[in-house]
Structure 1
Amino acid sequence: MQNVTIKSSLYLLLGASAIAWVLLALIENKDLSNPVDFFGLLPKVVTIDLLAIFAFTKWGWKFRLFRGWLVPFPNLNGTWVGFIYSDWINPETGEKPPRIPVMLTVNQTFFHISCVMRTGEMESFSYAEGFQIDSDKQIKNIAYCYTSKPRLSVSDRSMPHDGTSVFRIIEKPQLKLSGRYWTERATTGEIILDYHSSELLEAIPEELSKHPIRKEPV
């Protein structure tokens, strides 16, 4: 998939350069069969190409018309909300804990992506992120490693730790992230998130924190 995208990018850039050359020649009444006129337009064509590349990497990559053939990964920017379903067994009760309201914020550009996850007791920050996209195998995942920092009020039972999350990206019929996580504390579980908004929120929405608790994934 990556090779196809690179080839598509090169073809698009060459095509755009050719169009720019022709349009500039018409505007400035240049003869492209004349080497002096042809190469004389080169600095302006390069400038146009650089501006087009800047605009694409800044804004254009988000448009769906470029998805697949030019941009292999989806736009995940925004706030995602849902629940964590931990596999941890409480030694005192012998049961799993209730599901935990959680919020994930994704800050994504064409070149970089960062993920911050928040619950009522902790914040985790990604430090290594990447997409796994293979349309032929129907694979569309995002994975990242993170450092979790619990609140000081729960430090007696929850220590800072590192972990990894892998999410399957679901776009149809609605945006959803369905994934799993594991940590260096030997805890594992599931996380199911729905797309909430394009705004990067800094606290879990009140309606989510008051959501009825269930012990099994929905």
Structure 2
Amino acid sequence: MRNVTVKSSLYLLVGISAVAWFSLAYFGGLDLSKVKDFFGLVPKVVTIDLLLVAVFVKLGWKLKLFRGWLVPFPDLNGSWLGYIYSDWKNPDTGEKPPPIPVMLTVNQSFFHISCMMCTSEMESSSYSEGFLIDPDRQIKNIAYSYTSKPRLSLSDRSIPHDGTAVFKIVEKPKQKLVGRYWTERLTKGEIVLQYHSKELLEELPEDLGEHPVTEHGNRR
């Protein structure tokens, strides 16, 4: 897929350059068969290319028009709300905790993406991120490694640690991120998130409501 988008990008850039070259020559009354006229347009064509690339990198890549053939990954910018289902067991009772309300904020550009997750007890930020996109194999994932920092008041039972999360990106019928995580503390679990808004919220909303129902109709 990556090779396809690279080829598409090159073909598109060559096409735009050709159109710019002939348009400038036509309206400028130049003869492209003359070396001086032909190469004299190079600075202007390069300027046009750079301007269009800048607009595309800033805004254009988000348009659905370019999805698939030119931009292989979706736009995940915004805040996602949901729940963590951890396999951690209380050493005193042997019971698992109830679903934990969680928020994921994604700050994405054409060249970069960062993920920050928070609950009422911790905040984690990514330091290595990447998409795993392969339409032929029906794979559309995002994965990232992160550092989690619990609140200082919880340092007696929870210490800073690293981990990795992998999410399946669901766009139809509703936007969701369904994934799993594991940490160096040997804990793991599942995370289910639904798209909330384009706004990057700075703290977890207090009104997430009851945790969702599973496919079998039972609350997790």
Quickly name the TM-score band, shorter chain normalised: over 0.9
Q: Which runs of 5+ in 2 are unaligned?
A: none
C-alpha RMSD of the superposition: 1.4
The residue number in structure 1 matching 2:124 is: 124
1:198 maps to which residue? Answer: 198
Equivalent runs, 1:71-150 vs 2, <5 Å: 71-150=71-150
Determine if contact 1:164/1:182 at 8 Å carries over to the other structure: yes
How far apart in 2 are the matches of 1:18 and 1:133? 31
One-letter amino acid of the structure 1 residue matched with residue 163 of structure 2: G
2:164–2:181: 8 Å Cα contact kept in structure 1?
Answer: yes
**1:206 Cα shift?**
2.3
Q: Measure, in 2, the Cα distance between the counterparts of 1:212 and 1:130.
A: 32
- Which residue in the other structure is 1:36 paired with? 36
Verify the 8 A CA contact 1:98 1:213 in the aligned structure 2. Answer: no
Paired with 1:214 and 1:40, the residues of 2 have a C-alpha distance of 64
Match of 1:14 in 2: 14
Counterpart of 2:156? 156
Amino acid of the structure 1 residue aligned with 2:14: L
Cα offsets for 1:151-180 (capped at 9, x unmatched): 011111111100000000000111000000
**Counterparts of 1:42 and 1:202 in 2: how far apart (Å)?**
47
Residues 163 and 184, structure 2, Cα contact 8 Å, conserved in 1:
yes
Q: Is 1:23 aligned with 2:23? A: yes
User: In 2, Cα distance between the equivalents of 1:91 and 1:154?
Assistant: 16
Q: For residues 39-91 of structure 1, what are the alpha-carbon distances to aligned partners after superposition, in whole Å with 9 as ceiling and x for unaligned? A: 11111000100111111111110111100000011110000000000011222
Cα contact 1:98–1:214 (8 A) shared by 2:
no
Q: Which runs of 4+ in 1 moved over 3 A?
A: 213-218
Tell me if 1:64 matches 2:96.
no
Task: Letter of the 2:70 partner, please give it.
Answer: L
**Structure 2 Cα separation of the partners of residues 205 and 127 of structure 1:** 25
Q: Whole-Å Cα distance in 1 between the matches of residues 115 and 205 of structure 2?
A: 17
TM-score, structure 2 normalization: 0.95
Partner of 1:175: 175
Q: Could you tell me which runs of 5 or more consecutive residues in structure 1 were left unpaired when the two chains were aligned.
A: none
Mapped partners of 1:11, 1:213: distance in 2: 48
Provide the rounded CA distance (Å) in 1 between the counterparts of 2:58 and 2:182: 34
With 26-35 and 14-23 compared, the bigger mean Cα shift is at 26-35
Seen in structure 2, the aligned counterparts of structure 1 residues 214 and 95 have a Cα distance that, compared at 3 Å, is farther
What displacement does 1:185 show? 0.3
**Amino acid of the structure 2 residue aligned with 1:177:** L
For the residue of structure 2 that corresponds to 1:206, the secondary structure is coil
**How many residue pairs are counted as aligned between the two chains?**
216
Offset, 1:38 = 1.1
Q: State the shift of 1:217 in Å.
A: 6.0
Aligned equivalents of 1:166, 1:76: Cα separation in 2: 14
Does the 8 Å CA contact 1:99/1:214 hold for their aligned counterparts?
no
